[in-house]
Each structure stands twice: as structure tokens, then as C-alpha cells.
Amino acid sequence: MPMNHDLHSHSTASDGTLSPAELVARAAAAGVGVLALTDHDTTAGLAEAARAAAAQGIELVPGVEISVTWGGGTVHVLGLGVDADDPILAAGLAGLREFRGWRAREIGARLARAGIPGAYEGALALSNGRLVSRTHFARFLVAQGHARDERAVFRSYLVSGKPGHVPGRWAPLEEALAWIAAAGGIAVIAHPARYRLTRTRLRRLLGAFKEAGGQALEVVSGSHSRDDCLAMARHARDFGLLASAGSDFHGPEHPWIALGRLPELPEGCRPLWEHWPEAA
């Protein structure tokens, strides 16, 4: 029987709500055979996840989800199978977390001007001293009754044109790929259908990604419709990219995205996990 692969997930090391050990236990219980922990801009959860995976008898792929600025917008690139101790990767991620620290204060200041005081402190407290994500702001604003759910916070406060929006200044695509390569990992464009790029712009991104040494596209994602998966499978084939699959699980509070319940890759895809050595 083929292994159940879930190559995209989050823990409390970034904006997930389960600790790395809790996440791994939940994945094992859900029948996942190979899990990648891919926290945003940090590898801080990987050691705990690896210990838990050894205890649970599942395979842990050490990963990271790197925030990238491309074409004026934000794109996420997964590094899978990375060496978390690599100094080039570590330095690159540290720079992104420094920007996150500045951005969190700036988001707080902008929300305060919009009549919502204390959001920086609130988000910081929810992050437990780890990196601050917009998700922490969203959770705080929901708890304070400013919106019905996290989605509504993003829509009303945190995206472009809204009072708490601060434009990203993340890694250039080529730099993110160089960090992943230095750390011995495989680069995967995460949830490509989420960026709402036109077909032309998406293909420009895929061309630049391939040109810079990128290897795979997340064809199956918790945030993709079946049509998205089929379209991304065609793009992967056109650009000679391997196909990956990941839930992008952030915690049981979002029950519409479960661990280990991903559909099969569409026909004709070359699964990343059947080509690890060739890709690395």
C-alpha cells in the first residue's frame, strides 16, 4: 500500500495551534505515513517533531514554508528535507523573522489608529513568544469581538486596502531557493491556486521558479478545489515540475482541513516522493 503523504503542516512554532508533538501524534492517528512540518519562516519545531515521529513510527520530513515577495505580492515556497542547522538557511529565516517583528508592531500601530488598541500585545501573547503571524492578530480580534471568524478579520482588517495591512518585504524568490538548496532541500511552490494570479502571471512565476532551480508544485492542497488540482497538474507537467501534496493543516479549529485526508494526485503527475533522490 502506498504511504499516505502529507507534506505541508503547521505547529505552534508558527501559526498552528498544536505543538509539534501533538501534531505528529494526530497525523499518526490519522494514518499519515510521511508528514512534513513546514512552519512559516522557522525550523524551531523540527527537533520536537522528529522526536515525536520516532516515537510514533511515522516519517518526519523536516521542512519550512518561506515567505517570498514576487511580482509585488506574497508567494509561499516550501523547503522539504532541509537541514535545519544549515547556516545559510538559518540566517535567511532569521532575517524574515526580524521583518515579522517589525511588521507586528506596525500592524498593531495601524490597528490602534483604526480604533483597536492592544492588538500587538494581544497577538504577541497568543504567539507564546514565538514568531508573530497575521493569524495571531486574527485570533485576537475574533476573541475581542471585532469579527465573526479569522477569515472575516483578514477580509476587513489585514489585506491590502484595509486598516491593518502592512505590505510584505519577504525574501526574493531566487534567494529563498538558494537557502533551500544550501540546506539540501527540495523547493516546492505552496498552494499555487491561492494567489489568484492570472494564468499568464502564474506561468511567469513557474518559469522563474524553474529557472532558479525550483523542483516541485503543490498540486494537491487543502485549499485547492478539484479543478485547481487538475489545472495545477497540467502546469506541473508543462514546466517539468514534480507534484507534491499537503493539507496545510493549522489545527483542529479548522475542521474543513484534516491531516491525511488528501485526494490522490491527478493522473500523469510525477509524485515528489517517488523522485526524492533525483530531485535533491
Residues in touch with ligand AMP (CB under 6 A): 15, 40, 67, 133-135, 150-151, 154, 250
In the bound complex, what is the minimum distance in angstroms from residue 139's beta carbon to Mn ion? 12
Q: Is 218 in the site for Mn ion (CB under 5 A)?
A: no
Q: Is 248 in the site for Mn ion (CB under 5 A)?
A: yes
Q: Is 5 in the site for Mn ion (CB under 5 A)?
A: no
Q: How far apart are CA 236 and CA 244, in angstroms?
A: 10
For residue 33, give the C-alpha cell: 505515513
Long-range contacts of 193-197 (CB under 8 A, 24+ apart): 193/221, 193/223, 193/224, 193/225, 193/228, 193/231, 193/232, 194/221, 194/223, 194/224, 195/73, 195/75, 197/73
Q: Which of 118, 166, 163 is nearest to 141 (CA)?
A: 118
Task: Give the amino acid at 93.
Answer: L
Q: Is 76 in the site for Mn ion (CB under 5 A)?
A: yes
In the bound complex, what is the minimum distance in angstroms from residue 219's beta carbon to ligand AMP? 19
In the bound complex, what is the minimum distance in angstroms from residue 156's beta carbon to ligand AMP? 11
Q: Tell me whether residue 26 or residue 76 sits nearer to Mn ion (CB atom).
A: 76
Q: Tell me whether residue 189 or residue 233 sits nearer to ligand AMP (CB atom).
A: 189
In the bound complex, what is the minimum distance in angstroms from residue 15's beta carbon to ligand AMP? 5
Contacted by 150, from ligand AMP, Mn ion, none: CB < 5 to 8 Å by type: ligand AMP
Q: Contacting Mn ion (CB under 5 A), which of 15, 39, 150, 218?
A: 15
In the bound complex, what is the minimum distance in angstroms from residue 203's beta carbon to ligand AMP? 23
- Name the one range near Mn ion by CB under 5 A: 11-19, 110-118, 225-233, 260-268: 11-19
H-type helices in 76-144, by residue range? 87-113, 119-126, 134-143
φ, ψ (nearest 5 deg) of residue 76: -110, 130
Q: Which of 15, 10, 248, 251 is nearest to 130 (CA)?
A: 15
Q: Tell me whether residue 58 or residue 93 sits nearer to ligand AMP (CB atom).
A: 93
Q: How far apart are CA 233 and CA 101, in angstroms?
A: 36
Give the footprint of Mn ion on residues 177-196 (CB under 5 A): 190
In the bound complex, what is the minimum distance in angstroms from residue 51's beta carbon to ligand AMP? 25
Q: Is 136 in the site for Mn ion (CB under 5 A)?
A: no
Q: How far apart are CA 47 and CA 162, in angstroms?
A: 38
Q: How far apart are CA 58 and CA 159, in angstroms?
A: 37
